[in-house]
Structure 1
Amino acid sequence: MQINDTQKASFLKAVREVEPARLLAPGYDRLLLHREGDWEVHWAPFEPLNTQAEIVLVGLTPGYSQALKALRSLRGGLRRGMSSSRALVEAKMAGAFAGDIRDPLERMLNFMEIPRRMGVRDAASLLDRHGMRVHLTSALRYPVFKVARDAGDGEREGYRGAASMMKTPWMRQMVETLLADELQALPNARVFPMGQPARAAVEHLVAHDVLSHERVYYGMQHPSPGNRMDSRPFVDPSEASTHPKWQGRMVRVARERAEMLDKLARDWPLEPAHAA
């Protein structure tokens, strides 16, 4: 699902001409990349590669709100006369892990002491002032939405990993091409898949010798509000559910957290704190 120059030009033209909420509305196909079964993939400006990155955070796929923010940023930049290359970079930064994902992401990064290991004060500073040291991406680079033919501009239902991503050929192809290319282009960056679907994607690349397992730190949970049952106890074990129905899940989160912290302690010693 690589994007060629002709497609890119067409997408940029659409963004200049049409309000982004309309571009993402059901049945409006100017940004459509692929449709199959219950799902369709739409283009959004998430290609730019941060070549200075020291860590890579891998989510599942951009959601509607992230795609909308990225497209609105891109539209604004283009209409102000910004170069397309610069507008694309700013658009990705505006949309990637934006909105209600941001706070839980910062809490997890601070808990893991990633900023301190990088000589930075905290996660807010790392993602803002030192953002070039972090590459944000997804197992499925482009937004994947539930097919809906009805009219309307409301928020669309996005893919949450319910289907088996690595057993779905077109999803697996996105992982094996788009994600693989990004991770290979950053050979020295540490990779943190967030959540079980992203973990499965990265494990697939490791199993096929695309990525060294030594670079990967498994166990980080996805920071989306819908995953609070996993992300909150990852940071604070007292938040773990005590309901018998969820005990297996809580044991998994605790085990993955412990394994990650052990690997971080072995591989990445803490740096002295800085007021960066």
Structure 2
Amino acid sequence: MSIAAYSKFNMYRDQLFSLAASLEDEVLLNEAFLLEKDEKKQLEIYYAPFEYVNEQAKVVIVGITPGLFQMKQSYSTVINASDQLTNNEEILREVKNNSSFQGPMRKNLITMLDELQLHKHLGLSSTNELFSTASNLVQTTSLLPYPVFYKGKNYSGSTPNMLKNELLKKYVVDCFATELKSMDNPLIIPLGVNVSKVLDFLAENNYIESNSILNGFPHPSGGNGHRHKQFSENKDAMIERLEVYFKKNESKKVEFGSLPRI
């Protein structure tokens, strides 16, 4: 477990500690935390401390980008942690724990993952343990690790196209792909079609292995009215893919374990 190589937390730590607990939007979307902008495409990227990496993770759940709500939650966590925690890694781990798919989205996510029997492959009674006692098995992350806003609103992942915009593509490759390289070929669960497209691109360009991607998984947001239909249509194929992925990984362990000790 560690801090992402691209982390900027040291640069912003003191600024975050100095903020008042009552966080208004204008405090967050402020020049002080603006990382980059593409004026032509009306994109802005702001800093938020989502830089903790669980290198031991067996499962990586991938969204598009943290939204304003998650950004606010991450800042509040840092402010509250400043009295008790001094270690950067501990603070960033606390941020990650406090912002992993809260509310109905988490419930929907767990329901679908349990239907796919993922918990059985991990030796759990339910995937809800990934968000409590078995959190050491999961990494929750985003293709774009920092909050991205398009025309002042949360970026949805479609307009502009992530792979055709050089600014966004740079963050996908330099941050997300680098984060994955620090792990041992985990199962990657893309939340929605836009995430799947980017993961396919990374697989085609040898950043990740294509057989580790659970394609067909819908975004668990309550606002995604197509999620039930999409899940139903892809359920059997996803169950089969999980079987293949875990069987292959198990055979790798056996093969490695049979090597003579030096």
TM-score, structure 1 as length reference: 0.79
1:31 aligns with 2:33: yes
Q: CA deviation at 1:162?
A: 2.6
Gaps of at least 5 residues in structure 1 are: 149-156, 238-253, 270-276
Instruction: Give yes or no for contact 1:15–1:71 (8 Å, CA) kept in 2.
Output: yes
Matched residues in 1 for 2:104 and 2:246: separation? 29
Per the alignment, residue 152 of structure 1 pairs with: none
Q: CA deviation at 1:12?
A: 1.0
Change (3 A) 1:15 1:99: farther
Per the alignment, residue 217 of structure 2 pairs with: 220
Q: Which amino acid aligns with 1:83?
A: N
Per the alignment, residue 123 of structure 1 pairs with: 127
DSSP-derived class of the 1:135 partner: strand
Alignment of 1:71-86 (within 5 A): 71-86=75-90
DSSP-derived class of the 2:60 partner: strand
Which range moved further: 162-171 or 19-28? Answer: 19-28
Alignment of 1:55-204 (within 5 A): 55-148=59-152, 157-163=153-159, 164-204=161-201
Q: CA deviation at 1:63?
A: 1.5
Structure 1, residues 19-45: CA drift from partner, whole Å, max 9, x if none?
A: 473366475122211111322111111
Gaps of at least 5 residues in structure 2 are: 248-262
Instruction: Give yes or no for contact 2:144–2:171 (8 Å, CA) kept in 1.
Output: yes
Q: CA deviation at 1:176?
A: 1.1
Instruction: Give yes or no for contact 1:62–1:96 (8 Å, CA) kept in 2.
Output: no
Q: Between Structure 1 and Structure 2, how many residues are aligned? A: 240
Matched residues in 1 for 2:242 and 2:112: separation? 14
Could you tell me the percent identity over the aligned residues?
A: 23
Q: CA deviation at 1:75?
A: 1.3
Structure 1, residues 123-151: CA drift from partner, whole Å, max 9, x if none?
A: 22222110010011111111112344xxx
Per the alignment, residue 267 of structure 1 pairs with: 245
1:44 aligns with 2:26: no
Structure 1, residues 100-125: CA drift from partner, whole Å, max 9, x if none?
A: 42111111211111112111111222
Matched residues in 1 for 2:203 and 2:43: separation? 27
Change (3 A) 1:127 1:28: same
Matched residues in 2 for 1:55 and 1:24: separation? 35
Q: Which amino acid aligns with 1:190?
A: L
Instruction: Give yes or no for contact 1:46–1:142 (8 Å, CA) kept in 2.
Output: yes
Per the alignment, residue 18 of structure 1 pairs with: 19
Q: CA deviation at 1:267?
A: 3.3
Instruction: Give yes or no for contact 1:68–1:95 (8 Å, CA) kept in 2.
Output: no
1:207 aligns with 2:204: yes
Matched residues in 1 for 2:6 and 2:109: separation? 33
Matched residues in 2 for 1:265 and 1:24: separation? 48
Change (3 A) 1:24 1:54: farther
Q: Which amino acid aligns with 2:229?
A: P
Q: CA deviation at 1:265?
A: 3.0
Instruction: Give yes or no for contact 1:66–1:98 (8 Å, CA) kept in 2.
Output: no
Instruction: Give yes or no for contact 1:70–1:96 (8 Å, CA) kept in 2.
Output: no
Change (3 A) 1:10 1:22: farther
Matched residues in 1 for 2:246 and 2:29: separation? 48
Per the alignment, residue 10 of structure 2 pairs with: 9
Structure 1, residues 46-98: CA drift from partner, whole Å, max 9, x if none?
A: 11110110011111111122222122111111133432221111111211322
Q: Which amino acid aligns with 1:85?
A: E
Matched residues in 2 for 1:79 and 1:24: separation? 25
Q: CA deviation at 1:175?
A: 1.0
1:257 aligns with 2:235: yes
Change (3 A) 1:100 1:31: farther
Instruction: Give yes or no for contact 2:105–2:222 (8 Å, CA) kept in 1.
Output: yes
Q: CA deviation at 1:210?
A: 1.1
DSSP-derived class of the 1:268 partner: helix
